[in-house]
Amino acid sequence: MAGDRLTVSLDEESREALDDLVSRTENGQSETVRRAIIFYAANFQVANSEGDIDLERYYRMLSGGEHVLLDVDFLHGLLDHVEFDDGEPNPEFQQVINRVAEFHAEEYRTRFHSLEGMLDWFSFCGFLTARKAESETYHVVFPTEKVKWFMMEFIERSTAKLDFEVEVSEGVSKVLITEA
């Protein structure tokens, strides 16, 4: 395969990382570097996020069983089967959401130091899309109305112990969330 040649200077950490990857994948250096570049390009936004996303921590949570990857259609299917009475969910389901959110409120108290970091994390997890509107206000869009309901329930309770206040203004299809 003909291609462009590239000369790269590696520091000690980069050299050790490359050697480790070559050893684990049993690919040559060139193939390993090509794959690393493609992976980095595909994950550029997350890798260069200014928020509090910690990919190593996320990997540990996935590999430790604390979190799972969930197909978005599966999530929508689950939420479609939540029984709503007069616009309210099944009380037992609501209690579960509240209990999980209150548990995370304690974790988030020391984990997130800004609304931006928290919204980056939720966006990374695929629950929403957030765009900074002005200073500390974010336009937040959800994939469906039920995901919006589910995440707003979670966000309102899980932000209770943060070092900053969160103000929410719900629109028809999006939400404005401000760090106060």
Domains of the chain, residue spans = 12-42, 50-179
Backbone angles phi, psi at 94, to 5 degrees: -60, -40
Q: pLDDT tens-digit profile of 124-170?
A: 888 899 999 988 899 999 988 888 988 999 999 999 999 889 999 99
Judged on CB neighbours under 10 Å (0-12, 13-18, 19+), 80 is: exposed
Element (H, E) at 22: helix 12-25
- Once rounded to an integer, what is the mean pLDDT over residues 4-19? 91
pLDDT of residue 65: 80
Q: What CATH number was assigned to the domain covering residues 50-179?
A: 3.30.1380
How far separated are the first and last CA of the chain, in Å rounded?
A: 56
pTM: 0.65
Amino acid code (one letter) for 79 = L
Lowest mean pLDDT among 77-91, 107-121, 165-179: 77-91
Evaluate whether 151 touches 127 at the Cβ level (below 8 Å).
yes
- Tens digits of residue pLDDT in 16-61: 999 999 999 999 999 999 998 888 887 776 667 665 556 676 777 7
CA 160, CA 13: separation in Å to the nearest integer?
Answer: 40
